Amino acid sequence: EGQVVVIYDVTYGGAVVNARILSSTDDCFNKAVLRAVSKWKYSPGLGDSGAIRATGLQQVISFEQPDGE
């Protein structure tokens, strides 16, 4: 079991870039988190002048053992 906090940016087109680990209870989860986050896609955000990018987004990813294990 463990927890990873990842920080990343989202491009104008909705792709995740610059993902990096902010904190982690166990380094064994870090590679899997970075690989997964890099595949995420967002709908582009829209501002007054069109698509916008987002920077410094944070997400907590938790890993838990299934019941009975």
Inter-residue contact 20 to 57 (CB < 8 Å): no
What pLDDT is recorded for position 69?
63
Predicted TM-score of the model (pTM): 0.84
Instruction: Express each pLDDT in 6-40 by its tens digit.
Output: 999 999 999 999 999 999 999 999 999 999 999 99
- CA distances 12 to 16, 33, 58, Å, are 10, 22, 18
